[in-house]
């Protein structure tokens, strides 16, 4: 059996890590000092886009490549910091010309193309709020999020507009402008849309970021909960302090790095680390238009001489399926640091990485709400394979139990399971759930933010992920709320009841599975199963829709008639617990 630790030799580094001694870094760390490292706006205040673009464009890194975009065909297109400043200035001016105000929400629904990055940073310059939607969402999740966020502007592509937006547009009265990126020479969206490139060329290239309060809203991300509609997580410009600090200490970014975050900006990782953190660090970041493809990915790592890589366990498990031989055909010696996020990274994957890349993968943990990495395996710290790592300097993490009456009690003894709590505040902590103050306050007890993740902490202070405290499904690193899926299945005329859970899956971690009972008059058959899946996939998009549907006459319920998802879970695992179809109302999680 292999040792469970990968011991780091603290000498002979190709590049000396920014964090060399974990304990020392923790002891000397202060968020104020990080803030002082940043530029700040010339007229006062703090704006993410200034730190990410303008301060480099104004200085020595003006001609350094900020974004290297790889198109579908594999060709690289470079955007220097100077060029990025000009384009994002134009986008900010374009918003102004359309009468968009600071604080208004600008949504983007797009695959990874340069216009997405320009829109994101231009929106921040204008002090509007940027919200990116995953381009594989179906019309329903898109409509829900645009409506909840009262999006005033949507930037999208011709193809996505035609397939997903046109049909829902009249249900969105707040949506004033749809800006469409068309293929050259074709007519985008039609007369009720604005051509992205024509718009940008019609406005000025100079723009001065107005004074920005660090507490001004900057980013909106939607995340899923167990109940009700998706939650709009609001982050402010001060979050950049967290992006910068973690970029330095966890991703260990150095000026000459080529950094590749494979996450799509439709998810929080793709914004915090696929746009902001690398640019604030002034490095070159890679964005690939194409989706996962093992040989393309190895090829990119090799040809672009990627030095720091941030990816996800599902991708790593897919690469593992391709085997070591494929990896062996590529020169991956440029890679210095591999990191991962999205779901627990199993020890097996860490060891595979050591074999194939010559380095372990360093798992990190954080959430949409935390805004930046909170717990990590650091480059200069021994890796406990399978562990989340240790808290980022400046972050205090605890294991707690919830008690009756809403109190919490810290768990001191090592190895005991409890809920992960983080001491508030930190710069990138979310400041609100959109229009839901009560739900926001429920996340805090005293000055602790309760994460909803169950963990244990070992004797040496490494945290280990145990599971979710709620019913939220983590599939391929994406959080999926069961209710959103259940609601769409309930629209189908054949469905009487439905309960949605995550079924453990070798590659995705979990896949969405729906248990359905049918209305009288409907027969269980393959055609109906396909019809239900087609319905869900069309409305929700394949990422959110169930991969599997099981029919059963009765679903386990509480006395009050609520479907108990954890009994469906247990049933899936084959536990006898599920044989009881009725049970008492479950109590809130209590101190065991």
Partner 1 sequence: MNEEAIKTGVLRVLTRIVPEAQGEQIDPDVTFRDQFDIDSIDFLNFVLTLEKEFDVHVPEVDYPRLGSLDGSVAYLSSLLTAKVK
Residues that bind partner 1 (CB under 8 A): 135-136, 138, 291-296, 314, 318, 321-323, 326, 475-476, 505, 507-508, 511, 530-531, 533-534, 537-538, 541-543, 547
CA distances from 243 to 247, 272, 275, 379 (A): 6, 6, 10, 17
Cα Rg, the chain, nearest whole Å: 24
DSSP for residue 289? S
Tell the residue number behind the tokens 């244990």, with chain if given. 456
Report the alpha-carbon distance of residue 194 to residue 492 in Å, rounded. 36
Task: Output 236 or 511, the one with its CB closest to partner 1.
Answer: 511
Shortest distance in whole angstroms from residue 321 CB to partner 1: 6
Task: Output 58 or 505, the one with its CB closest to partner 1.
Answer: 505
H-helix or E-strand spanning residue 400: strand 397-402
Shortest distance in whole angstroms from residue 178 CB to partner 1: 20
Q: Which of 150, 94, 153, 92 is nearest to 124 (CA)?
A: 92
Name the E strands within 84-152. Answer: 105-109, 129-133
Task: Output 302 or 417, the one with its CB closest to partner 1.
Answer: 302
Shortest distance in whole angstroms from residue 350 CB to partner 1: 21
Residue 305 CB partners (closer than 8 Å, separation 6+): 258, 334
Q: Are 543 and 137 in contact (CB under 8 A)?
A: yes
Shortest distance in whole angstroms from residue 153 CB to partner 1: 23
Helix residue ranges per DSSP H, 9-59? 22-28, 31-37, 48-49, 55-57
Q: Are 38 and 279 in contact (CB under 8 A)?
A: no
Shortest distance in whole angstroms from residue 294 CB to partner 1: 7
Tell the residue number behind the tokens 């994101």, with chain if given. 120
Task: Output 54 or 264, the one with its CB closest to partner 1.
Answer: 264
Task: Output 177 or 539, the one with its CB closest to partner 1.
Answer: 539
Question: Exposed, middle or buried by CB within 10 Å (0-12, 13-18, 19+), for 459?
Answer: exposed
Q: Which of 281, 217, 176 is nearest to 431 (CA)?
A: 217
Q: Are 359 and 334 in contact (CB under 8 A)?
A: no
Shortest distance in whole angstroms from residue 170 CB to partner 1: 23
Shortest distance in whole angstroms from residue 528 CB to partner 1: 11
Task: Output 98 or 294, the one with its CB closest to partner 1.
Answer: 294
Task: Output 291 or 460, the one with its CB closest to partner 1.
Answer: 291
Shortest distance in whole angstroms from residue 476 CB to partner 1: 7
Task: Cis check for the bond before 425: say yes or no (omega within 30 of 0).
Answer: yes
Q: What's the angle, vertex CA 185, arms to CA 191 and CA 156, rounded to 5?
A: 55
Backbone angles phi, psi at 163, to 5 degrees: -80, -30
Task: Output 125 or 533, the one with its CB closest to partner 1.
Answer: 533
Task: Output 144 or 558, the one with its CB closest to partner 1.
Answer: 144
Task: Output 45 or 546, the one with its CB closest to partner 1.
Answer: 546
Q: Are 104 and 96 in contact (CB under 8 A)?
A: no
Q: Are 146 and 171 in contact (CB under 8 A)?
A: no
Shortest distance in whole angstroms from residue 115 CB to partner 1: 18
Shortest distance in whole angstroms from residue 98 CB to partner 1: 29
Task: Output 127 or 533, the one with its CB closest to partner 1.
Answer: 533
Task: Output 255 or 542, the one with its CB closest to partner 1.
Answer: 542
Shortest distance in whole angstroms from residue 568 CB to partner 1: 20
Residue 388 CB partners (closer than 8 Å, separation 6+): 344, 363, 364, 365, 375, 376, 377, 455, 462, 463, 464, 465
Shortest distance in whole angstroms from residue 362 CB to partner 1: 23
Helix residue ranges per DSSP H, 126-267? 139-148, 158-160, 196-201, 239-249
């Amino acid at each position: 059996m292999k040792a469970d630790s990968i011991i780091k030799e603290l000498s002979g580094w190709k590049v000396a890590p920014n964090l060399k001694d974990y304990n020392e870094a923790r002891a000397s760390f202060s968020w104020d000092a990080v803030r002082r490292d940043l530029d700040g706006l010339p007229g006062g205040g703090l704006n993410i886009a200034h730190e990410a673009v303008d301060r480099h464009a104004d200085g020595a890194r003006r001609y350094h490549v900020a974004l290297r975009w790889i198109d579908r065909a594999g060709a690289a297109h470079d955007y220097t910091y100077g060029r990025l400043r000009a384009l994002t200035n134009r986008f900010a001016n374009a918003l102004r010309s359309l009468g968009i105000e600071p604080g208004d929400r600008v949504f983007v629904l797009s695959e990874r193309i340069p216009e997405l990055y320009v829109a994101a940073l231009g929106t921040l310059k204008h002090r509007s709020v940027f919200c990116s939607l995953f381009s594989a969402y179906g019309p329903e999740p898109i409509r829900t999020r645009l409506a909840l966020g009262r999006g005033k502007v949507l930037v999208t592509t011709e193809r996505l507009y035609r397939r997903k937006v046109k049909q829902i547009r009249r249900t969105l009265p707040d949506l004033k402008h749809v800006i469409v990126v068309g293929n050259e020479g074709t007519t985008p969206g039609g007369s009720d849309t604005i051509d992205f490139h024509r718009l940008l060329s019609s406005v000025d290239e100079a723009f001065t970021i107005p004074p920005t309060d660090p507490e001004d809203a900057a980013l909106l991300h939607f995340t899923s909960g167990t109940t009700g509609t998706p939650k709009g997580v609001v982050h402010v410009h001060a979050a950049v302090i967290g992006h910068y600090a973690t970029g330095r200490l966890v991703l260990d970014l150095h000026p000459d790095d080529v950094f590749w975050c494979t996450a799509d900006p439709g998810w929080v990782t793709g914004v915090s680390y696929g746009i902001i953190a690398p640019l604030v660090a002034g490095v070159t970041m890679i964005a690939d238009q194409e989706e996962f493809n093992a040989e393309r990915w190895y090829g990119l790592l090799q040809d672009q001489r990627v030095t720091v890589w941030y990816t996800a366990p599902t991708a790593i498990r897919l690469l593992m399926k391709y085997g070591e031989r494929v990896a062996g055909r590529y020169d991956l010696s440029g890679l210095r640091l591999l990191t991962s996020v999205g779901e627990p990274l199993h020890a097996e994957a860490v060891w595979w990485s050591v074999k194939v890349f010559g380095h372990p993968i360093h798992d990190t943990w954080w959430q949409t709400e935390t805004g930046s990495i909170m717990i990590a395996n650091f480059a200069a710290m021994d890796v406990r394979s399978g562990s989340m790592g240790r808290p980022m300097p400046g972050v205090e993490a605890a294991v707690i139990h919830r008690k009756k009456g809403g109190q919490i009690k810290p768990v001191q003894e090592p190895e005991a399971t409890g809920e992960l709590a983080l001491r508030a505040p930190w710069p990138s902590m979310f400041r609100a759930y959109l229009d839901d103050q009560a739900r926001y306050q429920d996340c805090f007890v005293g000055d602790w933010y309760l994460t909803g993740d169950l963990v244990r902490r070992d004797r040496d202070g490494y945290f280990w992920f145990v599971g979710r405290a709620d019913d939220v499904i983590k599939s391929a690193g994406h959080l999926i709320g069961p209710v959103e899926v259940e609601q769409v299945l309930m629209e189908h005329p054949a469905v009487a009841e439905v309960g949605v859970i995550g079924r453990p899956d070798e590659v995705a971690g979990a896949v969405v599975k729906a248990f359905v009972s049918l209305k009288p008059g409907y027969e269980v058959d393959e055609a109906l199963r396909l019809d239900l899946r087609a319905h869900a996939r069309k409305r929700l998009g394949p990422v959110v829709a169930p991969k599997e549907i099981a029919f059963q006459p009765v679903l386990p319920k509480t006395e009050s008639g609520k479907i108990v998802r954890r009994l469906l879970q247990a049933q899936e695992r084959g536990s006898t617990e599920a044989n009881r179809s009725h049970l008492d109302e479950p109590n809130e999680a209590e101190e065991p």
